[in-house]
Amino acid sequence: MAVLPLSTSAVEALVLGLATGPVCLASCGPVVLPWMLVQPRGVRGHARQMSLFLAARLVGYLVFAAAIWFAGIALSRSWSGRSWLFGGVQVLLAAGLLIYAAGWPRARCSIARPRQELVQIGGASVDAARPRATGALVLGFLTGINLCPPFLVAGVQAAGLPSLAQALLFFAIFFAGTAVWFMPFVSLGVVRRTSSFITVARMAAALLACWYGFTGASLLIEKAIYG
Amino acid sequence: MASSAARTRPPAFRSVGRSILLTVPVAMWALLMFAPTFRAPGRNHHLGASAVIVFMTTLFFLMMRTGKTYRWRRYFFVALGFLFPVGFIASLVAVRGSMSIPIERMVSGDTPFCYMVIPLLIIPAALARTLIFPGSILPTASNPHSIAVMIGLWLAMTLVLGKAWCSYGCFFGGIEEGFAAASKHAKIRKLDARLRLVPWAILLFVVVLSAALFEPVYCMWLCPFKAVTEYPAVHSVETAIQMGIFIALFAALVIVLPFLTKKRTQCAYFCPFGAFQSLFNRINLFEIRFDRDKCVDCTLCQTACPTMALSVESIREGGTLLNCMKCGACVDSCKKGAAVWHLKGTKVALKPERARLLFLYGAWAMATLFGGSILASSIATVIGFLPLR
C-alpha cells in the first residue's frame, strides 16, 4: 500500500468512520440498546454511561490498531485468527449481557426483580438505581475489539501505515467518525422507565446473550474441530 | 319438551329481517371481491369462491342475529388457520416440488413475503436503504405476494383496525385457536403475568439483531410457522438446528400449550409481530371498554380472554391492556353487559352496538378480502385433490 501523507490519512479515517458508522451502529446495537434501556432514566446519566462505553471502545480500537500494526495486514486478513478472536469476544459479550439480564448487582439495583403486579406497559415509573461504570467499560471494550466489517476495512488501511503512532491516530480518528452515530442512544434517557420496560430490556439482553453465546461457541467449536 | 326449550332459549339479539338487512353490505362486498374469480375459468376456484361467500356471509348474519362476535369469528379464523397451510404447501409442492426453499430461489427474489418481517425491515431500510428480505418489491408472475403489496394491505388494515389484524387477518393464529378450542377445560390455569412481556423482548431482540446481521432473524431462527409453511433447505448443521427450533416452537406454542391453557399462547407469549401491532392500538379508533357501573369484577372476561389482554387493574380502570386483539371474547362472556365495544372519543356504553357494527364492517371486509381469498384458493386446492369428475 502506498504511504499517504498524514493529513490525507486523517481525512480518510474520518470519512471512513462517518460513512461506515451506520454499520457500526447496527453491529453494536444489539449490545448497546438493551444495556442502555436497563439504565435508569435521565439524559445526564445516559451521557455519562455512553461516554464510558465509548472511552472503553476507543481503548479497544487502539489495542487492535497496535496489534494490527505489529502483526501486519495478515492479522486483518487471516480468517483463522479472526475466528478465534471473534468467537472469544462473542462468548464474553454473552457473559456480559447475561449479567445484565440477571439484574446484577442486585444490592444496588431496586429494579432488578420487578414485582408481578407491575407488568402493564405504560405503568408507573420505577425508582432509579445508580448504574455502575464496570458494565459500560467491559461492554465498550468488547465491542471495541469485535471485528465488524468497517473495523476490518480500517484495519487493512492502518496496517499499511509507516509508524505505530500513525496507525493509532488513524484508528482514533476512525473511532471519532463512528462515535457520532452513537449519540442518539443518549436520547433514550428521556424514555420513562417502568418495571415492565426494565423487564423487557432484561429479557432481550438474555436472548441476545443466548445468541452471542451460540454464535461464539459455534465458531470456537468449528475452529477446534476443523482448525 | 319443545316448549321448555323455547322457554330457556335466550331471546334473539336482533330480528331475522334486520339481521339480513345488516348482512347485505357484507354479501355485496364478498361478491365484489370474488367477481374476478368467477370471470376467470376454473371450476374448482368457482366452487371455492362460492363456498367462501356463503361461509363469510352466514357467519356475519349469525353475528348480527345473536349479538355474539367471538363465537362466530372463531369458525372463520380456525378455518383460515388450518386451510392456509394446505393451500400454501400444495402450491409450493406444485411449483418447487418441495416445501423447502433453495438458495437460488431466495437470491432471485422468489420468496413470498410474510408480514411477520415488517418490523425487521425498518432499521436496515432507514440506515442502509436495504431490504433484508429475499423477495421482490413489486409483484411478479412467479411471486404475486410481493413486499409492496403485502405492506400496503397490512398498513391500510392496521391503521383502520389496529391489533384486530391478529384476530381477523393473521393466517397463523387460527391454528392455535383451533387447538385451544379443542380442549374442554384448561389444564394449566395459573400463568405468570410477566409472560405477556416476552413478545416485546423478542421484538427488541429480532429488530436489533436483524439490523446487525442484515437478515430477517425471526424467519431464519424463530418462526414456529416455518414448520407448516416453507423453510430453508436443510443442508448443514445450522439449517438442521433451525429446523429443529421451528418444529419445537410449533409443537410447544401452537399445539401443546394452547390445548393445555385454552389460550393463544404463541400470539400472547411469543409473537413479536403481535407486540409491534399492539403499538397501533394507540392510534386506532376502536377498543373494548368496561362500564364500571355495571361491572361486578367477576373476572369472567379475564378468563375468557385468549391472549391475557386483561388484568384486574385494567378492568378496574375500565379498559384492556395494549395487547388487546379485539376478538370480542370478553364482550361475549360478560353476563352483565359491562364489556362493550367503544369508539374512542365517545361516551362509554352510550351506543356500543353502533361501535361494534362499525368495527365489524371494517374487520369483516378485511377478513373477506385477505383471509377469504386464502380460504377460497385453499378450498379449490382441496377440491383438486378429491377424486371428483
In the predicted model, what is the mean pLDDT of residues B187-201? 91
Which residue type does B190 have?
K
pLDDT, average across residues A123-131: 52
- Average confidence (pLDDT) over A58-83: 75
CB contact under 8 A, A200 and B208: no
With an 8 Å Cβ cutoff, the interface of chain A facing chain B consists of 22-23, 25-30, 33-34, 37, 114, 116-117, 119-122, 196, 199-204, 206-208, 211, 218
Q: Please tell me the distance in Å from A5's CA to the nearest CA on chain B.
A: 31
Beta bridge partners of B342: B287
Is residue B198 within 8 A of residue B309, CB to CB? The reply is no
Does residue B318 have a pLDDT over 60?
yes
C-alpha cell at B65: 342475529
Contact between B272 and B203 under an 8 Å Cβ cutoff? The reply is: yes
Asked if the Cβ–Cβ distance from B197 to A27 is below 8 Å, we say no
ipTM of the complex in this document: 0.86
> Are residues A200 and B322, on separate chains, in Cβ contact within 8 Å?
no
Name the grid cell of B73.
Answer: 369469528
Please tell me which residue of chain B has the smallest CA distance to A26.
B212
Nearest CA in chain A to B311: A120
Whether residue B197 and residue A203 make contact (CB cut-off 8 A), yes or no, is: yes
- Mean pLDDT across the stretch B92-103? 76
Out of B196, B209, B314, the one facing A30 most closely (by C-beta) is B209
C-alpha cell at position B250? 410449533
Listing DSSP states for B329-370 in one string gives: HHHHH-SSS-EEEEETTS-TTSSHHHHHHHHHHHHHHHIIII
Calculate the average pLDDT of chain B: 89
The answer to whether the Cβ–Cβ distance between B321 and A121 falls below 8 Å is yes
- Closest Cα in chain A, distance from residue B131 (Å): 14
User: Residue B102: helix, strand or coil by DSSP?
Assistant: coil
Tell me the CA end-to-end span of chain A in Å, nearest whole number.
Answer: 30
Q: Mind listing the pLDDT tens digit for each residue in B280-297?
A: 998 889 999 999 999 999
Q: Please give the pLDDT value at position A150.
A: 77
Identify the band that residue A110 occupies on the pLDDT scale cut at 50, 70 and 90.
very low
Cα within 13 Å of Cα(B57), Cβ side = 20
CB atoms under 10 Å from CB of B22, counted, come to 18
CA B102 from chain centre, in angstroms, equals 28
Contact A204 B197 (CB under 8 A): no
Q: How confident is the model at residue B81 (pLDDT cuts 50, 70, 90)?
A: very high
Examine the pLDDT at B24 and tell me if it is beyond 80: yes
DSSP state of A124: -
Q: Which of residues 188-207 of B touch A (CB under 8 A)?
A: 192-194, 196-198, 200-202, 204-205
Q: Give a three-class secondary structure readout of B242-311.
A: HHHHHHHHHHHHHHHHHHHHCCCHHHHHCCHHHHHHHHHHCCCCEEEEECCCCCCCCCHHHHHCCCCCCC
A147, A36 contact by CB (below 8 A): no
Query: Does the bond joining A105 to the residue before it have cis omega, within 30 degrees of 0?
Result: yes
Q: B321 in contact with A at a CB cutoff of 8 Å?
A: yes
Distances (CA, A) of B169 to A211, B157, B196: 31, 9, 21
Question: B75 at the A interface (CB within 8 A)?
Answer: no
From A26, A116, A204, residue closest to B192, measured CB to CB: A116
Q: State residue B268's pLDDT score.
A: 95
B312: nearest CA partner in chain A: A117
What are the contacts of B66-69 at 24+ separation with CB within 8 A? B66/B12, B66/B13, B67/B13, B67/B14, B67/B353, B68/B13, B68/B328, B68/B332, B69/B327, B69/B328, B69/B331, B69/B332, B69/B356, B69/B360
Cβ burial A44-67 (10 Å sphere, 16+ → b, else e): ebbebbbebbbbbbbbbbbebbeb
| 3-state SS class at A114 | coil
The single-letter DSSP state of residue B232 is E
Residue B261 confidence (pLDDT): 95
Q: Tell me: pLDDT of A6 over 90.
A: no
